[in-house]
Amino acid sequence: MIPLRGFLAGFDHFVLVYFLVLSGLYLLLTVLASIDVLRAARSAGVDGQDDLFAHPLTPGISVIVPARNEALSILACARGVLSLRYPELELIIVDDGSTDDTFALVEAAYSLVEVRRFVAGDVPVVGTVRSVHVARTGTPVLVVRKDHGGTRADALNAGLNVATKTIVCFLDADSVLDERALLSAVKPFVDDPEGVVGVGGVVRVANGCAFEAGRLVSPEMPSSWIERIQIVEYLRSFLLGRTAWSKLGGLMIISGAFGLFRLETVIDVGGFDVDSIAEDFELVARLHHRLRAGHGKYRIVCIPEPAAWTEVPATLGSLASQRKRWARGLAETLFKYRRMTGNPRHGVVGIVALPYYLAFECLGAFVELTGSLALSLGLALGVVDVQLALLVAAVAFSYAMLLSVAALALEEFSFHRYPRTADLAKTLGAVLLENVGFRQLHAWWRVQGTIAAIRGNTHAWESPERTGSSADSARSGTPVS
Amino acid sequence: MTDTALVIDDDDDLRALLSFKLLHSGFEVHSEADGETGLAAIEQLRPDIVLLDWMMPRLTGLEVCERLRSVPELATTSVILLTAKAQELDIERGFAAGADDYLIKPFSPRELMTRVQAVLARARREPWKSATF
Amino acid sequence: MEIRHLLTVSVLVLTTLAVGLSVASTLVRAWRASAARRRDVQLTAIRPQVLEWLATVDPHNRQVLDPTARPGRSDARSVEELIGGLLPKLRGDDRAVLTTFLERTGALERARLRMYSRRRLVRARAATLVGAAAWRRGLPEVVWLLRDPDPEVRSAAARALGRMGAPDAIPYLLGAFEAPRHSISASVVGIALLHLGPASAPELIRTLRAAPAATRTLVAETLGLMGATQASNPLCHQLRTDTEAEPRTAAAHALGRIGGRDAVGPLVAALDRRQPPALRIAAAHALGSIGDPTAIDDLALTMTDPNHRVARAAARALAALGPGGRRSLEHATTVIELGRPSALEALDLSDRVRPMVAR
């Protein structure tokens, strides 16, 4: 009995220290992000976007949209992209072995004609490319039809092989961009043409919002609490987390739902990993790995606004499979690039960012769950003082709340995209709900995902086909940090 | 007979300024703030000339222009496209969509008025040309 | 019980902070909404008056100005704000009228003084206003802001100079571009130079000789975009003799845009496989835009280039070279070694798409 008691007491101390370190880090990230976000929000109007829009030398962008059975959203997506405020862009739709009307719809809408286009093998593609089509009218749309290669990465690579512009932008078919999203996102490339290789955009929750012809009309709150919680999560992740990591020079994730890269650089490092289930995280990790090993002077950054609005899972089941997949992709990628973790040669990425992802994002769920278990066990055995345990729990709870509220406040002080005052109350409600129940459930999913990665069994929980729901697991991996 | 002009631009200031200018030049003026209501207004009003902004919500000016040209009854309507897109290829696309003239923002309203007169004069001189569009 | 005490205090502090932030958010939201409403009411009231005045005022009568803004009017700030927002959308007489108005009300003089402000956004906005109004008296301050410690302010100053159409500012712009610290990005300087218009071409051509490589690149691109025909010779020289790849590539782009036939020789020479791929691509594009059939044989050979992007550029250029180019493409489709994939693609695109898709 004594060793167990000793162990429990020791473990509780470990959890306490772990919590303190994590809190300190979050505090630092929050402060860093607030400075940058508020600065960016105030600079609107003097950032010269209109000049950039009118300038002939603003770099062209190839927008690559992988589409597998996206008949419901593909036309709105295409219209949205083609009416974006950007001087030179081409839309590349990769029809990834769709069995529905995806291709027929695009063909009719843009009077596509097949061309015998030479498709280079710059990056590997598993599914055979069948044909390439362009619009007869000269509208800059290009459709690549290919066999399904099993992963989203495969479709993205097929798009990379036909892209012709300096910058590529990856976008989900059910994501909708703000009108000026590309102009803002290209600015880091333009300001630092030699240094910047990747720019991550903000992703916000589209559920419940009103859209028209591929453009957001008004941001609104979705009706279910599970979607509202994700609004808070995404705000915290993008507005606080990524902005801060970007400032520190340790940005590890550019969401596959909205990310821009220099085409030449992506091709140089070999495109997406067609075997990875978190291809976006893997690509950024590889860029850090390869570019640091090369010349060293490169930057991967993110912008806090404007945004891509994307559909998130609306049911517990689909959310669970998404989060398990993310956790698994995170763990697999961390394992693949384990040599970089803690390696001073990789700078902030090696010393700070990767250890953070390993200790808190990947293993955090284990600590959280076992911590709760140990606490309960300790209470049952009488090792831990009831009052003390409750106090510790209260501190953890109030700190988590504070972080979420800080993200909401930052959003309110900067971009305030949600117009109604009731929306503010609803998000505050979601903050409360997130910490009781959802948080623990999420930790459990993450543990499952990580265990799956360790055991290496293949895609056990994933249904092979989309079920037609607005959002599902086969979308871009976007680990929320 | 008074010529009818329709201003379609999502910029409130420009829309109002152009409307006033046209009004003072003796036009009957209507205005709309987006492509969709703009297209509906074109079909309903059959204006002699449309000043059309390219970048607009819902329907872009280019789409409005293409749709307008696909309606035979609207063949005599003249269109001047207004845009900040200054590249040759864009100008080409503008004319391919059926615009009669093209003006790059920021523009001089006075120059625009001159072009409006010129485009209308051309349409009156060569009515058969616009009919073959 | 030290630790309990500490924990209790923590919980209280954290909760207070969270509640405080929530309340602050709500207040900010309410304050913002009411400010926006007030501003809206004012702008809606004055907008039609000001715009109608602008639509009817005689631009050559500089005496009769400002019928809407009576002295001491409470919404004078809104009128100035409205006009400040209108300036960048206009050119010519209407802009001149507005500038005169802002000069009379003292708004431009106030903006000049605000360029000395300690707040970066105030400086940037002031420079933007002076630039949009093309107000020459503010020129020294705008030039001074080119060396501001804040990057947004520097860019705003460069943009303002372009809008002011001040060719005498070229040395300052290029100086700010080349500065080792606190420099301004090529894109911003390029846009500003382009705004200065063709009148600045002679000065730009002069700088080609002695400038650093990045400047040679930027200036060459700008001259091309201006369509400055008098730059053709110096650009050909740069294409042939420059020691670095980027200025040569930029020269090739520019020569394609200018379109003179005297550039065909140097461009054909730049198709050589020992040249960097980006230069080969640029040269092929340029030869397509110039449209001189004497380049056909060399472009046909370039379709066999090991770099598929170069081969594609050559094929697309041939498609633009009339019947001779077309014959050459058709011939290439018969033999794989002659670059069949690129030739097929170029033929399909030129036959099936109209107008031609972007490069």
Mean pLDDT of B57-85: 85
The structure's pTM equals 0.89
Task: Report the chain A residue with the minimal C-alpha distance to residue B89.
Answer: A88
The dihedral region occupied by A100, where left means phi > 0, alpha psi between -120 and 50, and beta the remainder, is beta
* Residues from chain B contacting residue C90 (CB–CB below 8 Å): 106-109
Tell me if residue A94 falls in helix, strand or coil. Answer: strand
pLDDT score for A454: 87
Q: Which of A38-47, A180-189, C206-215 has the lowest mean pLDDT?
A: A38-47
Residues B19-43 have pLDDT tens digits of: 999 998 899 999 998 888 999 999 9
pLDDT of amino acid C62:
57
Q: Do A83 and B86 touch (CB under 8 A)?
A: no
Element at C220 (helix H, strand E): helix C213-226
| ipTM reported for the complex, 2 dp | 0.87
Query: Rounded distance, CA C355 to CA B68, Å?
Result: 19
Spell out a b/e string for C145-169, using b for 16 or more CB atoms within 10 Å of the CB, else e.
Answer: bbbbebebbbbbbbbbbbbbebbeb
Residues 6+ apart with CB under 8 A from C117: C123, C126
pLDDT at C68: 61
CB-CB contact of A92 with A62 (8 Å): yes
Share of chain C above pLDDT 70, in %: 94
pLDDT value at C126 more than 90: yes
Residue B5 host element (H or E): strand B4-8
Residues 6+ apart with CB under 8 A from A331: A362, A449, A450, A453, A454
Find the helix or strand (DSSP H, E) in which A321 lies.
Answer: helix A316-336
Minimal CA–CA distance to C284: which of C248, C251, C318? C318
Q: Is the peptide bond before B106 cis (omega within 30 degrees of 0)?
A: yes
- From residue A146, how far is each of A99, A105, A222 by CA, in Å? 12, 16, 35
Question: pLDDT by residue (tens digit) across A76-125?
Answer: 999 999 888 888 899 999 999 999 999 999 999 998 999 988 888 899 99
| Angle between helix C308-319 and C340-352 (nearest 10) | 40
Residues of B in contact with C358 (CB under 8 A): 89
Strands B28-32 and B49-53: unpaired
Mean pLDDT of A213-218: 82
Q: SS3 of A260, please?
A: strand
Structure tokens at C101: 């108005």
- Residue range C136-153: average pLDDT? 94
pLDDT band (50, 70, 90) for residue A396: confident
Residue A107 contacts B where some CB pair is shorter than 8 Å: no
Partner-chain contact B85 A213, CB within 8 Å: no
What is the average per-residue pLDDT within C35-46? 86
Structure-model confidence comparison of residues B128 and C22, the more confident one = C22
Summarize pLDDT for A411-442 with one digit per residue, the tens: 888 888 888 878 888 888 888 888 888 888 99
pLDDT number for residue A464: 38
B interface mutation test: which of C39, C51, C79 has the most B CBs within 10 A? C51
Cβ neighbours of residue C18 closer than 8 Å, sequence gap 6 or more? A398, A401, A402, A405
Asked if C89 and B105 come within 8 Å (Cβ–Cβ), the reply is yes
In angstroms, how far is the first alpha carbon of chain A from the final one? 39
DSSP H or E stretch at residue A63? strand A61-67
Rounded distance, CA A156 to CA A159, Å?
5
> Considering only alpha carbons, which residue of chain A is nearest residue C344?
A116
Mean pLDDT of C18-36: 90
Task: Indicate the range of A45-59, B15-29, C94-108, C344-358 predicted with least confidence.
Answer: C344-358
pLDDT of residue A471: 36
Among residues C329, C297, C295, which one has the least CA distance to residue C312? C329
Task: Judge: C92–B23 Cβ closer than 8 Å, yes or no.
Answer: no
- Work out the burial of residue C214: count CB atoms within 10 Å of its CB; fewer than 13 is exposed, 13-18 middle, 19 or more buried: buried
- Phi, psi values for residue C60, rounded to 5°: -95, -10
Counting DSSP H helices and E strands in chain A, the numbers are 17, 12
Integer Cα distance of A375 and C43 in angstroms: 61
> What are the beta bridge partners of residue A146?
A96, A129
User: Does residue B130 register a pLDDT over 70?
Assistant: no
Q: How many CB pairs under 8 A join A and B?
A: 29
CA distances from B26 to A96, A222, B20 (A): 57, 50, 10
Query: In chain C, which residues have their Cβ closer than 8 Å to the Cβ of A47?
Result: 152, 155
pLDDT (mean) for A305-314: 89
Which residues pair with residue B102 across a beta bridge? B81
From residue B3, give the alpha-carbon distance in Å to each of B26, B75, B109, B122: 8, 16, 18, 14
pLDDT per position as a tens digit, C330-353: 998 887 777 888 888 888 888 877
Mean pLDDT of chain A: 86
In the predicted model, what is the mean pLDDT of residues C32-55? 86
Q: What is the pLDDT of residues C147-199, one digit of tens each?
A: 999 999 999 999 999 988 888 889 999 999 998 888 898 989 998 998 888 88
Q: Which whole-number Å values give the CA distances from A323 to A154, A243, A284, C204, in the listed order?
A: 21, 22, 19, 57
Question: Which residues in chain B have their CB less than 8 angstroms from residue C94's CB?
Answer: 17, 108-110
For residues B66-88, give the mean pLDDT.
84
What is the reported pLDDT for A437? Answer: 82
Place of tokens 């593609």: A125
Using the predicted structure, report yes or no on whether residue A470 has a pLDDT greater than 80: no
For B31-54, b where at least 16 C-beta lie within 10 A, e where not — what string? bbbbbbebbebbeebebbbbbbbb
Helix (H) or strand (E) holding A27: helix A2-42
Tell me which residue in C56, C89, C91 faces B24 most closely, judged by beta carbons. Answer: C56
Strand ranges across the sheet with B78-83: B28-32, B4-8, B49-53, B78-83, B101-104
Q: Which residues contact A226 (CB under 8 A, 6 or more apart)?
A: A313, A314, A315, A316, A319, A438
Contact A46 C156 (CB under 8 A): yes
C146 close to C184: Cβ distance less than 8 angstroms: yes
Can you read off the two tokens belonging to residue C285? 């594009």
What is the 3-class SS of A166-229, one letter each residue?
CEEEEECCCEEECCCHHHHHHHHHHHCCCCEEEEEEEEEECCCCEEECCEEEECCCCCCHHHHH
Residue A144's φ and ψ, nearest 5 degrees, are: -105, 125
Task: Find which of A42-51, C70-79, C235-244 is predicted with most confidence, using mean pLDDT.
Answer: C235-244
Task: Write out the two tokens for A109.
Answer: 């809408």
CB proximity B86 to C under 8 Å: no
For residue A362, the distance in angstroms to the closest alpha carbon of chain C comes to: 26
Adjacent-strand bridge partners of A63: A91, A169
Residue B129 pLDDT greater than 60, yes or no = no
- Flag whether residue A87 sits within 8 Å of chain B, measured between CB atoms: yes
Nearest residue on chain A to B97, alpha-carbon basis: A137
Torsion angle (degrees, nearest 10) of CA C5, C11, C15, C17: 70
Average pLDDT in chain C: 88
pLDDT for A466 beyond 90: no
Residues in chain A: 481
Task: Answer positive or negative: Cα dihedral of A329, A335, A339, A342.
Answer: positive
What pLDDT, on a 0 to 100 scale, did the predictor assign at position B127?
Answer: 60
| Cβ distance of A118 and C312 shorter than 8 Å | yes
| Cβ contact A408–C308 (<8 Å) | no
A53 touches chain B (CB under 8 A): yes
Tell whether the model's pLDDT for residue A234 goes beyond 90.
Answer: yes
Query: What is the three-class DSSP state of B80?
Result: strand
